[in-house]
Amino acid sequence: MRICVIGSGYVGLVSGACFSDLGNNVICVDKDKQKINNLNNGIIPIYEPGLEELVLKNKKQNRLFFSTDINNSIKKSDIIFICVGTPTKNNKADLRYVFKAVHNIKKNLNKYKIIVTKSTVPVTTGDKIEKILNLKKNEKKFNVVSNPEFLREGEAIRDFLYPDRVVIGTDSKKANNIMRNLYIPIIKKRSRYFQTSRRAAELIKYASNAFLATKISYINEIANLCEKSNIDVKEVSNGIGLDQRIGERFLRAGPGYGGSCFPKDTKALVTTANKFNTDLSIVKTVIKSNNNRNKLLTSKIQKIMNNNLKNKIITFLGVTFKAGTDDMRESSSLKIIPKLVNKGSLIRYYEPTGVKKEFKKFKNIKYCLNINEACKYSDLLIIHTEWNEFKQLNFKNLVRKNNFKVYDMRNLYSPDVMKKNKINYFCVGR
Ligand code: NAD
């Protein structure tokens, strides 16, 4: 298959690299010239384990190409994957990048093509794309298919190649056959191929993300109850997760959910439901609960520091929205850290994926090159993400100061061991 992937970000680049690795000829295009230049020079613009090796290997084999020439890339291809961003604007999915890509496709429909939305797009977007492409005039020239992506950053390659399911939304037999053939190497590895209507596929993506966001918010609220009733939330998570109807994943208490998907997709789902006069009261409550979560964690930090934050050195270990990624979008650190700075705290952070541009404008936020530099003489260490390198720290050796405190937002350490070692230790829901 000759494939064109429009948008070479977390989803587009991973999809392009994986499809090329499965033997297809792939051109990844992007409007960002710098990104494409870097990719052509073997420089990977994002942190994603295993991606660099996969890109370099397939580039070398002449199966994977990078270009800013969207028109020619579309003309040469049989399947066009739209993988551009769909950020939030006024609580809705902003589809301007999707439609820009669709207009490019319209100009270059030189032969039959399948246009696939892999970007997360609201119900009826496929219908709108079809309309733009002018179904009557171009009737035999294309099919619009929804193929939502479920990969997680940090696990993207494995999730792409070994997904729980591949969802294909189309009523066209021809398009379905082509999509099934494309995914055969993946389906053979036991992933379920699930064909459905295009609108259902669009909704499956939003409904899945909202469900996972609900699980996170739910356990976070249960953690609040555990803190007040002297129960360990980890034990509660294990106890309920063993029920196969519930499942153990996404039941770890911690900061509110963040990242490039859950916050925007929950809001966009509510907006879509409103459009169809449907009240998604559960999802609305989840959004509210998650917004409160970051406020609650900030108050907890204040409480831990006895309301004395001025000139206190507070160290963040990890600032991205979760471990395994360099993605800062909607990270709870973006909400918590500026509040602490306003209260006069001196913030240091160590982040395995490097310095973050989001904090450059703050005078009192300092990026440290290693854990030692970040923790030395600190008043409070906050474990914000769960990278492996944060899991076995010798806090006393690192901090070298009396009365320092540790706030473990990911419950990586045992409260009993910390107590034995006489460390002022705070965690979540325990
Ligand atoms: P991203 O911001 O990392 O990448 C989007 C890319 O598209 C950017 O490089 C941008 O320059 C490019 N782009 C935008 N408009 C373009 C155009 N007209 N022509 C060419 N390139 C264009 O976004 P992402 O995280 O990869 O997400 C893409 C979509 O996939 C979103 O809808 C998102 O919700 C969905 N999704 C993301 C994830 C994830 O974990 N990141 C997982 C599943 C689904």
pLDDT for 300-341, tens place per residue? 999 999 999 999 999 999 999 999 999 999 999 999 999 999
Q: Say what the pLDDT of residue 119 is.
A: 98
Within 10 A of 143 (CB to CB), how many other CB atoms are there?
A: 23
pLDDT higher than 80, residue 189 = no
Residue in 260, 262, 269, 331 to alter for ligand 1 test, most ligand atoms within 8 A of Cβ: 260
Cα 312 to middle of ligand 1, angstroms = 39
> What is this structure's pTM?
0.96
Query: Distance between the two ends of the chain, CA-based, in angstroms?
Result: 53
Cα 46 to middle of ligand 1, angstroms = 12
The helix (run of H) or strand (run of E) holding residue 114 is: strand 113-117
Of all atoms in ligand 1, which is nearest to the CA of residue 152? 40
Residue in 39, 71, 83, 146 to alter for ligand 1 test, most ligand atoms within 8 A of Cβ: 83
pLDDT higher than 90, residue 137 = no
216 lines ligand 1 (CB under 6 A): no
Nearest alpha-carbon partner for 406 in 376, 371, 379: 379
Q: pLDDT tier at 186 (50, 70, 90 boundaries)?
A: very high
Q: Say what the pLDDT of residue 139 is.
A: 74
Catalytic one of 261, 368, 375, 427: 261
Cα 34 to middle of ligand 1, angstroms = 16
202 lines ligand 1 (CB under 6 A): no
If phi > 0 it is left, if psi is from -120 to 50 it is alpha, else beta; for residue 356 that is beta
Q: Which two tokens stand for residue 114?
A: 């399948």
Taking residues 117-122, report their average pLDDT.
98
65 lines ligand 1 (CB under 6 A): no
Taking residues 58-64, report their average pLDDT.
98
Chain mean pLDDT for the chain: 97
Least confident of 13-17, 22-26, 133-137: 133-137
- Return the higher-pLDDT residue of 136 and 240: 240
Q: 56: Cβ–Cβ under 8 A, 6 or more apart, which residues?
A: 42
Residue in 4, 10, 27, 326 to alter for ligand 1 test, most ligand atoms within 8 A of Cβ: 10
Whether 261 is catalytic:
yes
Q: pLDDT tier at 13 (50, 70, 90 boundaries)?
A: very high
Q: pLDDT tier at 389 (50, 70, 90 boundaries)?
A: very high
97 lines ligand 1 (CB under 6 A): yes
Q: Which two tokens stand for residue 383?
A: 């474990």
Cα 91 to middle of ligand 1, angstroms = 18
C-alpha distances in angstroms, 246 versus 93, 151, 211, 241, 411? 29, 21, 12, 6, 21
105 lines ligand 1 (CB under 6 A): no
Taking residues 185-196, report their average pLDDT.
89
Which protein residue's CA is at the shortest distance from atom 15 of ligand 1?
97
